Structure 1
């Protein structure tokens, strides 16, 4: 299905460039200022809105804020097009409600790719909206029976039983449902970064902000958004109650506890994964040693046969006298067999040691990975704590 894209910009040249880039990919509507853009957005409800930042009259930020306040246009992803690419400008755009921010000049392929990402994000969001609403209703009922520390304790238990990022993130997002907080998270796992959102779809600008602030302060507040950073996890809260001092303080005291637990769990997962990798490495060495032992055994058998032939020759001599060459050959064979016997003994000893160590290591890792066996931990909404 062809996507409908609304371009709002006061520059005719930009409209021409957008037309050239997207005419074969989607249906375009053009608006020359913010007022016209708002009217067309309400009328046609486009799939994506491309919005200039600096325009006469209303700025792009003001237009975006109005779009997000309208129930009819609030869910339409907005992509800012601007000649300014500083982080402060991007944060301002995100605060206004934008889903992405592209610096001018841009390539056609880049613009198309980003539009596809935003469209996928919108489809995912729509699909998950109903599930999120149902979860919120259930969580609101349970919230009256569970205190903050109770939920933290439950999450710690759940995370202890999580052995991959998918399971951990499920428990993580479940924690925030009763709090009615919209969140996104970045897991800094080994040398990779994994971005996830509570509603299943992560906006490109959210990924960018989390990445850029990863090494920043523990708390980064901007508008109604807050980023909380730990070495292995960064949390983005999209609707921090900054106008409610009591609630704001409560969350700033509460959330570091769950992030500390998550940070520790990810470290444990990394250690476990590295340990399992070492086990695999040991297994490969074991196989190599086994192959080496087989090769030496074959060579040893050949020499035994050769030694047997020589003994038969000696037995066939009438006077049983050996030549100097035969004596030297026998001596060399004796040295060889002695060497091979020593080597085989050492290799067998090492293989036995490695086999035992590998067995013990696997048992230990299994105990760490599955400390509670297959027992399931109750969900946040399944218990009453306080």
Structure 2
């Protein structure tokens, strides 16, 4: 089914570029200003809205805020079209409710690719909405009488049994359901960055903000959003209650505990992954040594048999010893034993590699079994108290 896209922009050239890009995959509705765009959005309920930032009358941020305040249009993904590239503009766009932000001038391939991502996000969100509502009801009933620390201990216990990021994220998002916080998370795993959202799909602009603020402060507040950064995990809270100082302070005291536990769990996963890699390396080296020894045994057996026959013949005909043991034969046997020595030296080297890898593996496993030191536990200076 063809997607319906509403483009709100006062620039005719931009409309032409959008029309060319979407001609084969989308049906396009055009609006030249914010008022017309709001009216058409209510009337046609488009799948995606492309929204210019700078327009006469209402600017794009104001239009987006109105779209998100309306129950009839708040679920429609909005992509901003802007000529400004600074991060503050992206944050302002995200605060107003946008799901993505593309910089002018853009080509049609880039625009179509981003629309495809937004459309996939929209579909996944719709499919999971009912499941999330049911999960929220179940979790609220189950955890009504649990305090904050009880929920943290429950999560720590659950995370102990999580051995991959998918299962860990399921437990992670479950923690936030009774708090009524909408969140997205980035796991900074050494084998690759992983982005997840409680809605089932992360918006492109959310991923970009998490990436760009990764090396920033522990807490990054902008509007009603907050990013909390740890070395292995960053949390984006989409509806931080900044207008309620008591609740705001409670969450800023509470959330570092779950992030510290998550950070430690990811470190454990990385160490376990490294241990498995080392185990596989040991197995591969042992296989190589076994194959090399089989080859050496066959080669040495053949040459030993030839040498045995030569000695037997020499004993039976000592008068012909000079003709039996020619310089060529002696050179051949010399080369064989020289070759054997070289191959045995390679075997020794591989055995040294096995020993070193085994020691590294033992160190990794011992590290996993050691209790945390004071240096590994988060300092109280890292946790903001209110």
| Both proteins in one fold, TM over 0.5 | yes
Deviations 1:7-62 (A, max 9, x none): 11112222122122212221111111111110110011111101000111111000
Instruction: Determine if contact 1:276/1:365 at 8 Å carries over to the other structure.
Output: no
Is residue 228–residue 236 contact of structure 2 (8 Å, CA) maintained in 1?
yes
Aligned to 2:69: 69
- Alpha-carbon distance in structure 2 between the residues aligned to 1:331 and 1:60: 88
SS of 1:171's partner is: helix
Tell me what 2:47 maps to.
Answer: 47
Q: Give the Å deviation of 1:337.
A: 6.3
1:338 to 1:181, Cα distance in 2 relative to 1, 3 A: same
What CA distance in whole angstroms lies between the structure 2 residues aligned with 1:316 and 1:163? 72
Q: Is the 8 A contact 2:31 2:37 kept in 1?
A: yes
Partner of 1:377: none
Distance in 2 separating the partners of 1:125 and 1:53: 25
Mapping of 1:30-109 within 5 angstroms? 30-109=30-109
Contact 1:314 1:322 in 2 (8 A): no
Q: Does 1:264 align with 2:264?
A: yes
Q: CA deviation at 1:160?
A: 1.5
Shift of the alpha carbon at 1:142? 2.6
Judging changes above 3 Å, is the alpha-carbon distance between structure 1 residues 146 and 330 closer, same or farther for their aligned structure 2 residues?
same
- How far apart, in 2, do the equivalents of 1:95 and 1:222 lie? 8
Match of 1:198 in 2: 198
User: Residue in 2 aligned with 1:5?
Assistant: 5
2:373 alignment partner in structure 1:
none
Q: Whole-Å Cα distance in 2 between the matches of residues 209 and 290 of structure 1?
A: 52
Q: What does the per-residue CA deviation read over 1:191-235, in whole Å, with 9 as the maximum and x for residues that have no partner?
A: 521110011011000000000000011000011110000111110
Mapping of 1:210-225 within 5 angstroms? 210-225=210-225
| Corresponding residue number in structure 2 for 1:25 | 25
Most deviating of 137-146 and 251-260? 137-146
User: Which piece of structure 1 moves more, 98-107 or 9-18?
Assistant: 9-18
TM-score by length of 1: 0.86
The 5 Å alignment of 1:1-386 reads 1-317=1-317, 347=347, 354=354
Please report the RMSD computed on the Cα atoms of aligned residues, expressed in angstroms. Answer: 3.2
The runs of 5 or more residues in structure 1 that have no matched partner are 370-386
Q: Could you tell which deviates more after superposition, 198-207 or 301-310? A: 301-310
Structure 2 unmatched runs, 5+? 370-386
Cα gap change, 1:234 to 1:325, in 2 (>3 Å): same
Q: Are the aligned partners of 1:186 and 1:194 in contact in 2 as well (CA < 8 Å)?
A: yes
SS at match of 1:209: helix
Q: Deviations over 1:248-282 (max 9, x none)?
A: 00100110111111111111111111121111112
Distance 2:349 2:194 in 1: 44
- For residues 98 and 349 of structure 1, the distance between their equivalents in structure 2, rounded to whole angstroms, comes to 59
Aligned mates of 1:365, 1:280 — CA distance in 2: 15
Per the TM alignment, residue 328 of structure 1 is displaced from its structure 2 partner at its CA by: 11
Which range moved further: 344-353 or 181-190?
A: 344-353
- Matched residue, 2:378: none
In structure 1, distance between residues paired with 2:75 and 2:228: 26
Tell me: higher relative CO, structure 1 or 2? Use CA pairs within 8 A at least 6 residues apart. Answer: 1
Contact 2:314–2:324 (8 Å) recurs in 1: no
2:295 counterpart SS class: helix
Change in CA separation of 1:348 and 1:49 when aligned onto 2, cut-off 3 Å = closer
Which whole-Å CA distance do the structure 1 matches of 2:346 and 2:109 have between them? 62
- Are the counterparts in 2 of residues 226 and 238 from structure 1 also a CA contact under 8 Å? yes
Query: For each residue in 1:323-342, what CA deviation from the matched residue of structure 2 results, as whole angstroms up to 9, or x when unmatched?
Result: 89579978996997699599
1:314 Cα deviation after fit: 1.8
Specify whether residues 39 and 308 from structure 1 end up closer, same or farther in structure 2 by C-alpha distance, changes over 3 A only: same
1: CA distance, partners of 2:242 / 2:103: 30
TM-score calculated relative to the size of structure 2 = 0.86
Aligned residues: 368
Distance 1:339 1:34, change over 3 A: closer
